[in-house]
């Protein structure tokens, strides 16, 4: 995995005692619904396409069905997925929009399991604790621009608490006509700002909801 890849790590390790106190505090402060599902949508595209987003019309269909444009019940969205509560999953299922193998329909990416704790700090920066149907807790981590072997739970907690995260990374290799491929034996420092989510959304209101910016005066 290179520095530019999206790190996606999964493990079933138990939490250390020093982590528990931080998680309990964050857990109690969060407004969340248990057993949140990831609705991942499969679409059939030509094999020569490199980028496969959800078509706008289909994404609107899913969002409209759960009244997602008017209620803040979509926790996070990605290219081909919506993070929604289990009650909204039931609505989609009753509407015939759920299937394990049909194109243009959604499926729960976690099978029979669901998210019991989530931190959605910015696009491509999220941390989830998953409870499987077998009662096993797992981590699902994504942090764009952060190396997989360096990413730690504490980094998410630090960002969520309003503090920047700094770490050192290997400088990327370079290619030139004269020297060929050069792999620097140096480090570079990266700083991930705690306010990076405010680029696209307003600060949390009294209910902890971060609404997107609009052109209208509020």
Q: Is 218 inside a domain boundary? A: no
Nearest to 51 by CA among 81, 79, 76, 77: 79
Predicted confidence pLDDT, tens digits, the chain (218 residues): 343 333 344 444 555 666 666 666 665 665 444 444 444 444 343 344 333 344 444 444 556 555 555 555 666 666 667 677 666 767 777 777 666 666 666 666 666 667 777 787 777 888 888 877 777 888 888 887 777 677 888 888 888 777 888 877 677 777 777 777 777 777 777 777 766 655 556 666 777 666 666 544 44
Q: Which domain holds residue 71?
A: 8-162
- Describe the strand order of the beta sheet including 125-131 as a list of residue ranges: 8-11, 137-143, 125-131, 114-122
Please report whether residue 151 resides in a domain.
yes
Q: Decide if 91 is inside a domain.
A: yes
pLDDT at res. 63: 60
pLDDT at residue 34, as a whole number: 44
Whether residue 217 is contained in a domain is answered as no
In a domain, residue 177? The reply is no
């Amino acid at each position: 995995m290179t520095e530019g890849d999206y790190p996606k790590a999964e493990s079933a390790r138990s939490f250390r005692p020093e982590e528990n106190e931080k998680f309990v505090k964050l857990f109690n402060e969060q407004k969340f619904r248990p057993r949140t599902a990831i609705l991942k949508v499969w679409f059939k595209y030509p094999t020569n396409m490199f980028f496969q987003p959800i078509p706008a019309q289909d994404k609107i269909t899913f969002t409209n069905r759960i009244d997602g444009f008017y209620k803040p019940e979509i926790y996070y969205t990605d290219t081909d997925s919506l993070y929604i509560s289990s009650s909204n999953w039931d609505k989609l299922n009753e509407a015939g929009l759920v299937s394990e193998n049909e194109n243009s329909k959604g499926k729960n990416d976690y099978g029979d399991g669901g998210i019991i704790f989530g931190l959605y700090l910015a696009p491509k920066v999220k941390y989830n604790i998953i409870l499987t149907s077998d009662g096993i807790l797992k981590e699902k981590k994504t942090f764009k621009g952060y190396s997989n072997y360096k990413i730690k739970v504490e980094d998410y907690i630090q960002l969520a608490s309003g503090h920047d995260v700094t770490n050192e990374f290997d400088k990327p290799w370079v290619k030139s006509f004269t020297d060929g491929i050069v792999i620097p034996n140096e480090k570079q420092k990266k700083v991930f700002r705690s306010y990076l989510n405010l680029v696209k959304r307003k600060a949390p209101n009294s209910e902890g909801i971060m609404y997107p910016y609009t052109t209208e005066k509020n």
